[in-house]
Amino acid sequence: MNILLVEDDPVQIRLYESLIGALGDDKALHHAVSTREAFTWCDHHEADLVIVDYHLSGIDTGLEFVRRFRELYDTASVPVLMVTADSSREVRIGALDAGATDFLNKPIDVVEFSTRVKNMLSLRSYEKQVNSRAALLAAEVRKATQAINDREHEIIVRLAKTAEYVDPTTGSHIQRIGHLVRCIGNAIGLPSDECEALFDAAPMHDIGKVAVPSSILLKPGPLTIEEFQIVKRHTTVGHDILKESQSRLVQIAAVIALSHHERWDGTGYPGGLKGENIPLLGRITAVADVFDALTSKRPYKEAWPIDKAIAEVKRSAGSQFDPRVTAAFLVAVPNIVDIKARYATSA
């Protein structure tokens, strides 16, 4: 174990070398004659015990060293033994207040010194073992959590694919929508974990289409008023399918399913929500959903050119879309165009 000695008296250094050498070969003593030299050593090594003299020559002081040492990363649990010829109460309180673990008075009692050093190193060794076990346990927990997340993601992907079977023209749309919403989320400044949640959850936005007859979904011409009312139900049906899940991602997907056809001006469905009353993730998905639908071929229309679809999204800011989300979409256009190219199909 590494013992750092901060001491500028050659006689004392030789004494410590002798005492610590007698404690066993597993204990390596590194001595520094100034605080500057000590901190240089600390930059590249980890101390298991620090022994520092209260009085150092020049402008250095033992108390100042201890204060600065405790400010270094991950030193809070490293024992610090301060040695001083001054046994006054003020010195003891000052040493403890600076961050010293314990102190010894000069002249050093050999038995007491050896016992205290052994005890401090034993505690340090035990703490490192505990920390090592904790790190291993944390790694196992992360591994298990990742396995759960991977299984959850797979289930979500397969659930999202359900919509493909009732409307096969939207298969690639479902794949692209995750990338598009994550791209817009990044541009708007959402935290990375929320962007990843968007990526996973948004593909389920149309899961409620399982309740819409294929004859309506695949109809090549305009829908009747009655048919459109049936189509609108996919938002509430999707919400009902997803809302009671214990999965955070599926709960997010439920919110998106319900809100991605709401409009900024309040004329959307199913709730006629307006402005920021519409969940932000639904507002983001709305822009991505419409842009991708416009630029994709459907039974009732041909795909729009990308520049025309971008212009339409921009024109709809403040009416159909949240202006802030639209602005983020426009910032992200280069990445969005790349997504369309990378995942381009007839859908």
Q: Are 69 and 55 in contact (CB under 8 A)?
A: no
- In this prediction the pTM is 0.60
Mean pLDDT (the chain) is 88
Question: What is the pLDDT, as a whole number, of residue 321?
Answer: 97
Question: What is the pLDDT, as a whole number, of residue 273?
Answer: 97
Q: Are 278 and 264 in contact (CB under 8 A)?
A: yes
Give me the DSSP letters along 27-62.
-EEEEESSHHHHHHHHTT---SEEEEESB-STT-BH
Q: What's 278-300 look like in SS3?
A: CCHHHHHHHHHHHHHHHCCCECC
Bridge partners of 5, per DSSP, are 31, 51
* Length of the chain, in residues: 347
CA–CA separation, 100 vs 35, rounded Å? 15
CATH number at residue 127: 3.40.50.2300
Tell me which residue range forms the domain holding 80: 2-134
Identify whether 155 is part of a domain.
no
Question: What is the pLDDT, as a whole number, of residue 69?
Answer: 92
Question: What is the pLDDT, as a whole number, of residue 60?
Answer: 61
Phi and psi torsions of 55, nearest 5°: -105, 115
Q: Are 103 and 83 in contact (CB under 8 A)?
A: yes
pLDDT tens-digit readout, 136-187: 888 888 888 788 777 777 777 777 666 666 665 655 777 799 999 999 999 9
Question: What is the pLDDT, as a whole number, of residue 346?
Answer: 44
Domain count, the chain: 2
pLDDT tens-digit readout, 10-26: 888 899 899 988 888 88
Question: What is the pLDDT, as a whole number, of residue 347?
Answer: 45
Considering the domain architecture, whether residues 263 and 123 belong to the same structural domain is answered as no
Phi and psi torsions of 103, nearest 5°: -150, 155
Considering the domain architecture, whether residues 290 and 337 belong to the same structural domain is answered as yes
Give the residues of the chain that fall short of pLDDT 70.
57-60, 160-171, 345-347
Considering the domain architecture, whether residues 321 and 189 belong to the same structural domain is answered as yes
